[in-house]
Amino acid sequence: MAPEAGKPLEASELSRGVLDAALEFETTGDLEPLEDWPGQERALDALRMAAESRFSDFNLFVLGNPGTGRRSAVRALLSGAAESLPRPSDWVYVNDFDDPRRPRAMDLPPGRAMVLKAAVEKLIDDLANEIPAVFESEDYQARRRAIEESYSDRQEQAMGELAEKARARGVAIMRTPMGFGVAARQGEEILTPEAYHDLPEDTRERIDAAMAEISAELEEILGQVPKGMKAQRREVEALNVEMTEHVVDDALSEVKAEFAGEDNALRFLEAMRDDIIENADLFLIREDGATAGAFPVATTKHYAKPQFRRYAVNVMVSQPHTNGHGAPVVEESLPTLANLIGRIEYAAEQGALVTNFTMIRAGALHRANGGFLVLDARQVLIEPFAWDALKRALRSGEISIFSAGERLSLISTETLEPDPIPLKLRVVLVGERMLYYMLTAFDPEFAELFKIEADFDDRMPRDVDSAKLFARLAGTIARREDLRPLDAPGVRRLLLESTRLSDDAERFSLNLGRLSDILREADHWAGGAGSETIGAPHIDSAIEAAERRAGRLRELSQEMIHRGTLMIDTDGAHVGQINALSVLEIGKSRFGRPSRVSARVRVGSGKVVDIERETELGGPLHSKGVMILSGYLAGQYAPEEPMSLWASLVFEQSYGGIDGDSASAAELFALLSALSELPIDQSFAVTGSVNQFGDIQAIGGVNEKIEGFFDVCAARGLTGRQAVLIPETNIKHLVLRRRVVEAVESGQFRIIPIATIDQGIAHLTGRDAGARGADGRFPEGSVNALVEARLQAFAETRRSFGLRNGQEKGKP
């Protein structure tokens, strides 16, 4: 009987040619460069929408596979959009002189933060010289001496007048180690106690009265001394303030003039003026070997003298000062919590951690404020607290600085509570599609904060227009990378490789990263050949070299098959044995490899044992495929009989996990062979999945699978009988290497598409599968007839066994 199957494919169907109408040029140097990304119109429209929208919650998630130009497109479009936006304000932190634990956030016009910082540094340097000079001046010293002498003269005059009065009354005022005292006197002599007692009683009474009066007046005079000293200090302090005000106001007038109209800066300068005047003594502290100025020529992040840190300006963000526009575009490659929202640093002093407002550091949100912040979604999600901090900032519209230690209550040292800084920016997350879908499903806030998605496609349709765009794209990549231009055959070869990368002969790949790698390596080969352009041979050399570098595992697998370590037959025929095809992807290596699938059958209760699943080596998709073929058997054969089959299926010499259903057709063919006892031609290999109705379904990696079996056959010698059965729906995905195409063209190898299980089993066994007739029977001798007869025999055997077993149990 003639096989009921499709015809082998022609060589022209194995690798689609390029549409030559698109390649009417000499080299890509003649083509106009591309300013956009071909095939990404949907994603680019979303990017433009996010960049131009004025709504704060229109943040963007850019999804797609790496290498599709996502990041370069984001950078280019955001940079263009940022140029039309107003330049955002500068932000600084300054000391709150009333509460140093709560530094004040202050915004300034663009470019003015560094000007203010420099002006304040110069001001403090000047005052550090001028204030000490004022207090050392002759004018100050004379005025201070006058104040001091004024109080001293008044005290001395009072004491002198009291001394004269005491002398006239016969009393002496004496200075003792314990202070001042009074005593009786006679002339210039101080009376001793004995002499005093020898005086007449009335004389002693007169002297005692005089001493009491003089003592009272002396006490009153001495009681005025502290008040006088206090008044003196107040006058000295008033003099100090007067002198300091004059110096500070004179020095500050020039700085205030420079910041006229900038209210925040003027308010800070005024608060600083009051604090300097109140704490002028800070400027009188002298250290051995210290310079006269507060700020040395080579400044560091800490001021030279700690007492002047209170007047520093901590610049968080400073935009370049221009007359035009332009918002920042910041890309943070390491979005830790501190790198996002900023941090407060600490220094160890005498065994304790201390900080101040000059140790507040800006994060990416500060630098991008007023513009765009680009983040890698995966990196943000894996950094502790970073994702939560980003959402918190976007929700609240302000940047609050905190640390992970504070969040977990691990820090007990005193810290700062800086003012939050208002936030207005657009965040762009770049990540894989799976991350986007998971965030949408599991984070209810995500959809509220990121309302726009830009989905970058991996492929574009294969037609003349897209081929022309692709040629321009190749030329643009060559210009950007400073490579040689491509000639038309070179572009044709690159287009062919692009269709292979897309796993679809009707699509071009948009994996710009991979295409760029090929072009750069091809440029190396072109240079070695002395060519002025990149041609098809150079593209071939680049592709072959890359495959050779990553081919050790593939070669090892082929060697094990060639030496018989892995048992794969490519000739002969066996019952219940077939060559299935799989794809291994390890690192950059991706290759096809044949595997032997075997099946054994006997009478049973309708169970098909998947040995891979039973040993926990099979994945859920593989198990699903086995269950589907069980459904096919039950529905296709002996519908009136109970399923009385026990079967086992296994991938021989497989010691790792197996998943996917692309071998389910091969497993079903092995089962049909075991049931019909018809041998399968081992010159064939099979790939494809099957549904419950026996239709063969498309699978992935068809090119690598075919090439893997071809390489085994080629190593042993091509016979012309060897072939691969593939799903008919996979024809449009074929972009095979030239070695396979040439073998098919010369009749040494075949690729046969099949649409149904019946077509496939006919090819594998050389016998017609057979269709059920009007009488409900399959044609005599057909594969399906043999399978059904075997299943009916199993059912009869099972029935007979059951009856016999029942009779045995019923014996007395």
Phi, psi of 391 (to 5 degrees): -65, -40
Task: Read off the pLDDT of residues 640-670 as tens digits, 9 standing for 90 and up.
Answer: 788 788 888 888 877 666 666 778 889 899 9
> Which one-letter amino acid corresponds to residue 461?
P
Could you tell me which residue, 589 or 4, shows the higher pLDDT?
A: 589
- The percentage of residues in the chain with a pLDDT greater than 70, rounded to a whole number, is 83
Q: Which helix (H) or strand (E) holds 593?
A: strand 589-603
Report whether CATH 3.30.230.10 matches the domain 555-796.
Answer: yes
Other Cβ atoms closer than 10 A to 221:
16
pLDDT digit string (tens) for 540-584?
999 999 988 888 888 888 888 888 888 899 999 999 999 999 888
Instruction: Mark out the alpha helices in 679-749 (DSSP H runs).
Output: 702-716, 738-745
pLDDT recorded at residue 297: 41
pLDDT for residue 795? 86
CA atoms within 13 A on the CB side of 558: 18
pLDDT at 129: 84
* Residue tagged active-site, from 662, 673, 676, 683: 662
pLDDT value for 411? 65
Angle at 42 between CA 38 and CA 48, to 5 degrees: 100
Q: Would you state the pLDDT for residue 289?
A: 42
From 427, 502, 663, select the one nearest 16 (Cα to Cα). 502
Lowest mean pLDDT among 9-18, 225-234, 331-340, 774-783: 225-234
pLDDT value at 616 more than 80: no
How much is the CA Rg of the chain, to the nearest whole Å?
Answer: 48
- pLDDT at position 2 is 34
Instruction: Please check the confidence at residue 301 and state whether its pLDDT lies above 50.
Output: no
pLDDT at residue 290 in the model = 46
Over range 123-133, report the average pLDDT.
86
Assess whether pLDDT exceeds 70 at residue 787.
yes
What integer pLDDT is reported at residue 79 of this predicted model?
Answer: 86
Distances from the Cα of 340 to the Cαs of 333, 361, 415, in angstroms?
Answer: 10, 11, 19
Which residues make Cβ contacts (< 8 Å) with residue 191, sequence separation at least 6? Answer: 183, 184, 185, 199
Q: Is the pLDDT of residue 299 over 60?
A: no
- The Cα angle at residue 321 between residues 319 and 325, in degrees rounded to 5: 85
User: Burial letters for 792-810: b for 16+ Cβ neighbours within 10 Å, e otherwise?
Assistant: eebbeebeeeeeeeeeeee
- For residue 96, what pLDDT is reported? 93
Alpha helix stretches (DSSP H) within 19-137: 41-52, 70-83, 112-135
Indicate the range of 108-122, 223-237, 781-795 predicted with least confidence: 223-237
pTM value is 0.78
Quote the CA–CA distance of 506 and 503 in Å, as a whole number.
9
| Residue range 457-471, pLDDT digits in tens | 888 888 888 888 888
Q: Does 164 or 617 have the greater pLDDT score?
A: 164
Question: What SS3 class is residue 465?
Answer: helix
Please calculate the CA angle 535-538-17 and round it to the nearest 5 degrees: 60
Gap between the terminal Cα atoms of the chain = 56
Point out the catalytic residue in the list 117, 595, 705, 782.
705
- Whether residue 379 is predicted with pLDDT greater than 80 in this model: the reply is yes
Q: List 63's β-bridge partners, or say none.
A: 431, 455
DSSP conformational letter for 603: E
Rounded to an integer, the average pLDDT of 595-615 is 77
> Which of the pair, 221 or 440, is modelled with greater confidence?
440
With 50 as the cut, is the pLDDT of residue 725 above it?
Answer: yes
The domain 40-68+329-456 belongs to what CATH superfamily? P-loop containing nucleotide triphosphate hydrolases (3.40.50.300)
Q: Which residue has the higher pLDDT, 131 or 56?
A: 131
C-alpha span between 694 and 631 (Å, rounded): 10
pLDDT at 193 over 60: yes
User: Hey, which bits of 300-450 come out as E strands?
Assistant: 313-317, 329-332, 343-344, 347-349, 352-354, 360-361, 372-376, 398-399, 421-422, 426-431
Best-predicted range by mean pLDDT (410-424, 503-517, 636-650, 776-790): 776-790
Q: Residue 460 pairs with which residues in a beta bridge?
A: 508
User: Quick check: 611 pLDDT over 80?
Assistant: no
Task: Give the pLDDT mean for 502-527.
Answer: 88
Strand partners, 591: 584
Q: How many CB atoms lie within 10 A of CB 104?
A: 19
Q: What are 220-262's pLDDT values in tens digits?
A: 666 666 666 676 667 767 777 778 888 888 889 999 999 998 9
Average confidence score pLDDT of the chain? 83
pLDDT tens-digit series, residues 152-184? 666 666 666 666 776 766 677 666 666 666 777
User: pLDDT-based confidence at 21, cuts 50/70/90?
Assistant: low
DSSP run (H or E) holding 461: strand 459-461
Identify which of 383, 159, 107, 126 has the alpha carbon closest to the alpha carbon of residue 254.
126
What pLDDT does residue 812 have?
47
Helix, strand or coil for residue 798?
helix
Q: Is 662 a catalytic residue?
A: yes
Lowest-pLDDT choice from 3-12, 223-232, 294-303, 520-529: 294-303
CB 474 within 8 A of CB 491: yes
- Report how far residue 315's alpha carbon sits from residue 360's, in angstroms, rounded to the nearest whole number: 9
DSSP 267-328: HHHHHHHHHHHHTGGGGG---TT--SSSS-SS--SS-SSGGGGGG-EEEEE-----SS----
Q: Residue 291 pLDDT more than 60?
A: no
**Using an 8 Å Cβ cutoff, are 584 and 590 in contact?**
yes
Residue 3 has pLDDT above 50, yes or no: no
Q: Is 92 a residue whose pLDDT tops 70?
A: yes
For the chain, the structural domain boundaries read: 40-68+329-456, 87-324, 555-796
